[in-house]
Amino acid sequence: MEFTADRVDDTTVFVIAAGQITSGDAERLMGVFLPLPRDGTSFLVLNSIGGSVVASEALAAAIHRLGVPVIVPATGVCASACFILFAASPNKYYIPGARIGVHSATEGGHETLDSMGVTTAMARSAAEMGVPDAIVGRMVRTPPGSVAWLSEAELLAMGAVRIDITTPPPAPSVPPDTPLTRPVPDNTTTPSGPIALSHGPVGSPAPAPLHIIGGGSNGGCIVGAVGLPPQGDGYQTIHGSLSYFWGAPVTIQNIVTLGQEAHANGLPPLLIGDISRPSGGTMPGGRVAHQVGLDVDVALDMHMRGYLSEEQRESIQIASLVRSDARDIEPSMWGEAVARLLWLAATLPGVDRLLVNPAIKQQLCRTVTGDRSWLRFVRPWYGYAAHMNVSFKCPPGQTDCVAKAPPPPGDGCDATLQWWFDQLDAPKPPPGPPKARSRLPEACYSLLGPASP
């Protein structure tokens, strides 16, 4: 874990513990906490989805011995081995929105005889710390590929106290051996059902009902678009003065779902870019995509961050994940958190495809093990070094919506991927005459006006 001390005022210190739990963390914690006051004004802020069980036991012993108060923040996650740290403290706090969960142990992403023994040891330790039998039972019964998120009643039953602190610490990185899986939601704390869609801050949408006209290479327009709120659970919009956040209801619902699942998986709040204009049509720069409310740009930088201020969201610059020679990823920008985000997006309901830089696709082909079927929907394309484009299928009943041809069978890790890298060495063709801009479907001109391209 990374331990970062943040002095809030003259008397209060938050030590943020974020990331994977590893060997030596107990000693690092002691080195940070021993010089601090031991009068209840120094707190350990937990934000981790686990790591080494052996290291967590040593870290839990240090927390208990020092009497360190622990907090899980509103944007934080404390799951798997991190739960042992939370349970070990004599003074446990959580802020509404925190995600605290349990599951059985894993060995290389699978349940084995050895990992079942570790689960038994974890359950015994939790019981000795006063964790109620019901929670210990959920830990033992929940398989390694899932997470049982604790309800507020369960947290209170184990002696945790609800408090309010508004400043979120950074989100953790994802341990390399964490399996790709969606958490098991706790119905008492996880929103369910469709979100309450609201109109966004810019312009006025065309009146409902939903009618998507066109799409594909000729562009199009949309009637009945809805706006994405600027911030929600696990996401925030960026570059509001330059971007548009209107889309088909299925698009907006999936963005909200992706944010919630990213939060539940320990990822930082997602940075959401362009969706579409209120009535669709050509976007700034003449882009063909984003014209019918079925596309969204999502940044791929998964470095730790919390929710940003409006000014920060406007000015943030998204770093590229790809080397300057375009032949490979930038190692410092890649991690399991990026792969996890891509998997979450590619397996959303109704996804048509994800567009990413060929170097990002190449990295997935190298590293993804187990089920690789979702790689079919991750397609290489020009650019997309800092963000992905998530594109959704035409919703049912939208007969004027032009569907794209489905991605070809297979994982796409073949000669078709190598072609993109071969083009880097191919001679550049001489520039040709400028291409005429395609006309929108005729029905769009009455909606967008005759001045539309």
Instruction: Summarize pLDDT for 80-95 with one digit per residue, the tens.
Output: 889 999 999 988 999 8
Say whether both 217 and 297 belong to one domain.
Answer: yes
What's the pTM value of the predicted model, to 2 decimals? 0.61
Say whether both 416 and 296 belong to one domain.
Answer: yes
**Dihedral (CA of 58, 60, 63, 64) sign:** negative
- Sequence-distant (≥ 6) Cβ neighbours of residue 152 within 8 angstroms: 162, 188, 189
CA–CA separation, 391 vs 111, rounded Å? 35
CA–CA separation, 111 vs 91, rounded Å? 32
In a domain, 142, yes or no: yes
In a domain, 200, yes or no: no
Q: Which of 162, 194, 220 is the last residue of a domain?
A: 162
- Give the range of the structural domain holding residue 53, as residue numbers without chain letter: 2-162
- % of the chain exceeding 70 in pLDDT: 83
In a domain, 391, yes or no: yes
Say if residue 52's pLDDT is above 60.
yes
How distant is the alpha carbon of residue 420 from its chain centre?
28
In a domain, 198, yes or no: no
Say whether both 280 and 414 belong to one domain.
Answer: yes
The CATH number covering residue 127 comes to 3.90.226.10
In a domain, 329, yes or no: yes
Say if residue 186's pLDDT is above 50.
no
Say whether both 233 and 147 belong to one domain.
Answer: no
Say if residue 447's pLDDT is above 90.
no
Say whether both 142 and 220 belong to one domain.
Answer: no
Say whether both 248 and 372 belong to one domain.
Answer: yes
Say whether both 300 and 367 belong to one domain.
Answer: yes
Q: Are 95 and 74 in contact (CB under 8 A)?
A: yes
Say whether both 158 and 216 belong to one domain.
Answer: no
Query: Which pLDDT band, with edges at 50, 70 and 90, does 450 fall under?
Result: low
Say if residue 185's pLDDT is above 50.
no
Say whether both 280 and 390 belong to one domain.
Answer: yes
**pLDDT tens-digit map of 210-232:** 999 998 777 899 999 989 999 98
Say if residue 40's pLDDT is above 70.
no
The CATH number covering residue 253 comes to 3.30.1380.10
Say whether both 238 and 135 belong to one domain.
Answer: no
Q: What is the mean pLDDT of residues 122-138?
A: 89
Q: In the chain, how many domains are there?
A: 2
Query: Which pLDDT band, with edges at 50, 70 and 90, does 198 fall under?
Result: very low
Say whether both 116 and 240 belong to one domain.
Answer: no
Q: Are 407 and 353 in contact (CB under 8 A)?
A: yes
CA–CA separation, 449 vs 453, rounded Å? 10
Say whether both 137 and 216 belong to one domain.
Answer: no
